[in-house]
Copies of this chain bind each other. A is one copy, B any other.
Amino acid sequence: MARLFIRAIQERIKPLGLSTGTFPVMLALWEKEGQTQRELVQELGVEQATMANTLSRMERDGLVIRRSHEADARVQTVWLTERAWGLREPAIEAATEVNNLATRGMSEQQRTEFTTLMSQVIANLSEV
List residues of A whose CB falls within 8 A of some B CB.
1-5, 7-8, 45-46, 101-106, 110, 113-114, 117-118, 120-122, 124-126, 128
Separation of A124 and B114 alpha carbons in the complex (Å): 15
Task: Give the shortest distance, in Å, between A66 (CB) and chain B (any CB).
Answer: 24
**What is the copy number of this chain in the assembly?**
2
Contacts of A128 in B (CB 8 A): 8, 101
Residue A113 contacts which of B7, B102, B113, B125 (CB distance < 8 angstroms)? B113
Contact A105 B126 (CB under 8 A): no
Contacts of A117 in B (CB 8 A): 106, 110, 113-114, 117
Interface SS majority for chain A: helix
- A and B contact pairs by CB, cutoff 8 A, 27 listed: A1-B2, A1-B118, A1-B121, A1-B125, A2-B2, A3-B45, A3-B46, A4-B45, A4-B121, A4-B125, A4-B126, A7-B125, A8-B125, A101-B124, A101-B125, A101-B128, A102-B121, A102-B124, A102-B125, A103-B121, A103-B124, A105-B124, A106-B117, A106-B120, A113-B113, A113-B117, A114-B114
Separation of A95 and B17 alpha carbons in the complex (Å): 37
Closest B residue to A110 by beta carbon equals B117
